[in-house]
Amino acid sequence: MRFAPTIPTSTGLAKYLGLDFTQVQPPLPKGTSPELEGTDRWCKMMPLIWSSKTSLGWFDMNRGRLAVGQSVETREEVNNWWPGLGRWRIGMKMDSATIEFEEAEYWP
């Protein structure tokens, strides 16, 4: 939306709208390189995303390409990134956003 104003916004306001952005991660196996340690517990954390320049916009969900694993001979056009949703969606654009994570909660 070309002439829509930008406003400061935070995902911390989502709880007042009844939305929960909590992320839950399962245990991850150890990777092949030293920096990929792996975990043995489940983890739950809440991300906080904020930006001083947030605006509304229209998003075109049209993929315009083949689905994963399809060949040209069996071409079937996949219309949306998220099946079942319409092509055009309203969303937020957060310029220069900052993402922070609260202290994680672990359980076996």
Within 8 A by CB and 6+ apart from 19, the residues are none
> pLDDT by residue (tens digit) across 44-72?
998 999 999 999 888 877 766 555 555 55
> pLDDT by residue (tens digit) across 5-21?
889 999 888 888 898 88
Domain residue limits, the chain: 7-107
d(CA 6, CA 72): 43
- Predicted pLDDT at 87: 77
Q: Where are the alpha helices (DSSP H) in 1-108?
A: none
> pLDDT by residue (tens digit) across 88-97?
888 888 999 9
pLDDT: which is higher, 77 or 44:
44
| Bridge partner list, 68 | none
- What is the pTM assigned to this prediction? 0.58
d(CA 78, CA 46): 33
Task: Judge contact between 43 and 105, C-beta under 8 A.
Answer: yes
